[in-house]
Amino acid sequence: QVQLVESGGGLVQAGGSLRLSCAASGHTFSGSAMGWFRQPPGKEREFVAAISYGGGITDYADSVKARFTIARHNAKNTVYLQMNSLKPEDTAVYYCAAGPSVTIADMKSASGYAYWGQGTQVTVSS
C-alpha cells in the first residue's frame, strides 16, 4: 500500500513558477514508477510527467516539455514537479500517482497507476 499527499499548489501569475511535492508512505515507493497527472476544469485527466522507480528515465507531455521537471528523492519518499514559465492553460488539479507495476513503456497511461493522491489545485492567472 502507498499513501500519497500532494502539496505546493496555489495561485500564480503567468510566467511564474511553482514546485509541487508528493509525499509517499508505504514500503513500495522506491520500487514504483511515479507520475503526475492533471485535470483542467471541465476536461479529462491528462498525463503531465512520469519518472521511473530509479529516477533514470523521465517522460513528459509535449505541452510541458522544457518547462516542467519531475524528480524523486527515494530516501525522502518524495516526488517533485518543478513547474516554470506557467501558463493559464496549466490551471488544473494536479494529482500524484504511484505505479508499482507500471513499465517504462506505460508511464503515460493513468490506468496503470494503482495509488493516487487527493490532488492539489494550481491556478495560473493571465
CB proximity list for 105: less than 8 A, separation 6 or greater: none
The answer on pLDDT for 28 being more than 90 is no
Work out the pLDDT band at 66, boundaries 50, 70, 90. very high
Helix (H, G, I), strand (E, B) or coil at 42: coil
Cell 489545485 belongs to residue: 121
Contact 9, 22 (CB under 8 A): no
pLDDT, the chain, mean = 95
